[in-house]
Structure 1
């Protein structure tokens, strides 16, 4: 017999950090989401955190495999939350994991791709869509590329303004001492997505309206989403307004029913 009532059980969230960052960026959000009755896990992507010896060798496949490994270790469905660059990662991971494993995708001021697009291609498309009144895209012009073209990083003198302008001094210091190099290969690799899998997984976008890295309004409409939320924050609401971010994440969970048999 099938019971179509929504289960009160909490959801399982896997949080994936963006470029140059690490699992540490979710430190304030994880306990807030857990306090709402959910399981919340921050994933450290290869080449980040303590694993920086082989950063230049890391591929998009390595990122995706790390997310898939953690997802498959969880019982039942998971929701993937990707910040910034990680929008590409969770999209490809969802395609591999399937709609029975991934119940929703949440893009936090993130790159939301179509089949065959790379992050670099989406950056170019986004810049072309910016109007004269759009916020100045500070990130692209402040990237420093290694001589071997295998990694890049953000100009340390401007990283605080680009990512954390509305964050506390303590959070700025915490983050700036942890930013790392980013492998370029994952940024240049096109994702391979299908309408049959990726296309049917519900997507939600959280647009940070004061983000100084790049105006992502275009990206929030690039692929159909169930809902687009807005936060009056920098690109790093996990520091500047973690409570509001956790509330949105919890609200999304309530819109995704769990059916029991």
Structure 2
């Protein structure tokens, strides 16, 4: 029988808790308590740069304006998620489902307070090895076919954010955004989701590192949900995460579930993804 632990869903960069709105009803219908939360610098915690809303549109500012979330670090994101887990679980462990750039945040929390995480579930997410920043995986040969890095605007080290230009009217750029995140998602739904995205993901989340130990993250049960059509975090990079984790902690191997999906299965197959996570103990 699956565990009755609550399920907490955390979105990736540029998104918000809203991206789980098609998944949570399926999970609740299956009898599990579930809630989606906003990550630091996103959703209700997002702060938009001036260029994103000011008129006329200033393409030069897109690459130069310092982000209003430039001060958000991996420590900050982990502290927020820890507080959310404690609130939802009442001090008892919960199953945390992290997508994309929420992965390093979940990893930090599970390392610092493994007793709070009953099961760490990574959905097409960064699952960095000990002491390795998530950003490093974008520079690997396995990431060469990824579509996100070419879309990034400005120097993240200078502006403090991984910035995408959702305000541009460039049809080529917008098509690449669709292919990177929503390649198998109904176009109308993808367009609606794109309209909700915020441009800046805090660079500090991606450059922070977490030393992992056997008694910390290495002790937490984990599952990796890999997406075979992913153009944001390529399947080869996803396989690297699993291989590194299993090499470091062979006594606690990663369970792997494979979905024939793009980077956003919460939109393209929400019922299937809900079935996967509710089946996990």
Q: Which TM-score band applies after superposition, normalised by the shorter structure?
A: 0.7 to 0.9
Query: TM-score, normalised to structure 1's length?
Result: 0.85
| 1:55-77 deviation line (CA, Å, top 9, x unaligned) | 22211111101110011112322
1:145 is the counterpart of 2:167: no
1:219 is the counterpart of 2:220: no
SS of alignment partner, residue 137 of structure 2: helix
Once residues 214 and 9 of structure 1 are traced to their aligned partners in structure 2, the CA distance between those partners, rounded to angstroms, is 29
| 1:126-180 deviation line (CA, Å, top 9, x unaligned) | x2246xxxx8211112211368421222354221111001111232122111111
SS of alignment partner, residue 122 of structure 2: strand
Contact 1:48-1:55 within 8 A present in 2 as well: no
Equivalent residue for 1:35?
Answer: 29
Question: Which stretches in structure 1 are left out of the alignment for 5+ residues?
Answer: 1-5, 254-261
Once residues 75 and 11 of structure 2 are traced to their aligned partners in structure 1, the CA distance between those partners, rounded to angstroms, is 16
| 1:203-236 deviation line (CA, Å, top 9, x unaligned) | 1000000011131232232212431111101100
1:154 is the counterpart of 2:136: no
Contact 1:207-1:220 within 8 A present in 2 as well: no
Once residues 9 and 146 of structure 1 are traced to their aligned partners in structure 2, the CA distance between those partners, rounded to angstroms, is 44
Q: After TM superposition, list the pairs within 5 Å mapping 1:2-151 onto structure 2.
A: 10-53=4-47, 54-73=68-87, 74-75=89-90, 76-98=92-114, 100-124=115-139, 127-129=140-142, 136-145=145-154, 148-151=158-161
Once residues 162 and 48 of structure 1 are traced to their aligned partners in structure 2, the CA distance between those partners, rounded to angstroms, is 19
Once residues 259 and 94 of structure 2 are traced to their aligned partners in structure 1, the CA distance between those partners, rounded to angstroms, is 24
Once residues 55 and 129 of structure 1 are traced to their aligned partners in structure 2, the CA distance between those partners, rounded to angstroms, is 29
Once residues 11 and 196 of structure 1 are traced to their aligned partners in structure 2, the CA distance between those partners, rounded to angstroms, is 21
1:9: how far off?
Answer: 6.0
Once residues 9 and 222 of structure 1 are traced to their aligned partners in structure 2, the CA distance between those partners, rounded to angstroms, is 27
Contact 1:112-1:222 within 8 A present in 2 as well: no
Number of residue pairs aligned between Structure 1 and Structure 2:
240
Equivalent residue for 1:228?
Answer: 256
Residue range with higher mean Cα deviation, 165-174 or 226-235 = 165-174
Question: Which stretches in structure 2 are left out of the alignment for 5+ residues?
Answer: 48-67, 167-173, 247-252
Once residues 231 and 185 of structure 2 are traced to their aligned partners in structure 1, the CA distance between those partners, rounded to angstroms, is 13
Contact 1:23-1:49 within 8 A present in 2 as well: yes
Once residues 46 and 226 of structure 1 are traced to their aligned partners in structure 2, the CA distance between those partners, rounded to angstroms, is 27
Equivalent residue for 2:269?
Answer: 241
Query: TM-score, normalised to structure 2's length?
Result: 0.80
RMSD of aligned Cα (Å): 1.9
Contact 1:79-1:104 within 8 A present in 2 as well: yes
Structure with the higher helix share, 1 or 2:
2
